[in-house]
Amino acid sequence: MKALVQSSAPPERRVPGDLAMWCFILAELAVFGVFFLVYAVFRWREPALFAAGQRSLDLTLPTLNTLFLLAGSAAMLAAVSRFAEGRQPAGRRALALTMLCGGGFLALKLYELVGKFARGITLSTNDFWMFYLSLTVFHFLHVVLGMVIVAAVWRLARDGRYTPDAMDGVETAAAYWHMVDLVWLVLFALVYVAR
């Protein structure tokens, strides 16, 4: 009987997490969207300059970083699922894994950026490096904020407040984390690979 009810009635549509966070996420997406489009216009006007800059980028680190963010998102979804099953310790372990992946991303990104600064590359080197530095640093700051949010949820989860009936906090953190991952997928393809 239960199986019948479940198969005939799809789950009710609802906002995953806090609506205020989703408004913030939409604003963030709009900002990144404009940034990407302006990049595209500048690249379209100076394809050779952008291609030369991109050729000097090593793809190993950003590829690893994409894998880190995807693993972090997978762990985040696992965390939300565990809390929804009432499995608090497993949920917290998955959140810790998300932070570990985020930490890996930040460490590699920092290494990459320091390498660029050591080569004397700055915002005023040329248009490509201006976009490269501002986009990657802006995204880096978003990963940092994502880490802070996940860490806060991980800490709050100690007292077992996230139950199948009270998932708002975890889902809100997850929404933000996935947004940061989504933006990176486009950024990685556009800035590092597409030339």
Partner 1 sequence: MDLRPGDKRKALFRIKEALAARGHDAVMTYPAPGTQRALWLLLSLLTVLAAWLAEDGHPRRLALIVLALAWFKGVLLVEYYMGLRHAPRWLHALVQGWLAVVSSALLLSFF
Alpha-carbon distance 139 to 142, whole Å?
Answer: 5
195 near partner 1 (CB under 8 A):
yes
Candidates 49, 78, 90, 156; binder of partner 1 (CB under 8 A) is: 78
**3-class DSSP assignment, residue 168:** helix
Question: Is the Cβ of residue 73 or residue 133 nearer to partner 1 in the bound state?
Answer: 73
Query: Does residue 94 contact residue 139 with C-beta atoms inside 8 Å?
Result: no
Question: Is the Cβ of residue 72 or residue 117 nearer to partner 1 in the bound state?
Answer: 72
103 near partner 1 (CB under 8 A):
no
H/E segment holding residue 139: helix 127-156
- CB neighbours of 54 closer than 8 A, spacing ≥ 6? 128, 191, 192, 193, 195
Phi and psi angles of residue 59, each rounded to the nearest 5 degrees, phi first:
-90, -15
Chain residues that interact with partner 1, rule: CB under 8 A: 2, 6, 11, 13-16, 22, 25-26, 29-30, 33, 36-37, 40-41, 43-44, 51, 59-60, 63, 66-67, 70-71, 73-74, 76-78, 80-81, 84-86, 164-165, 167, 174-175, 178-179, 181-182, 185-186, 188-190, 192-195
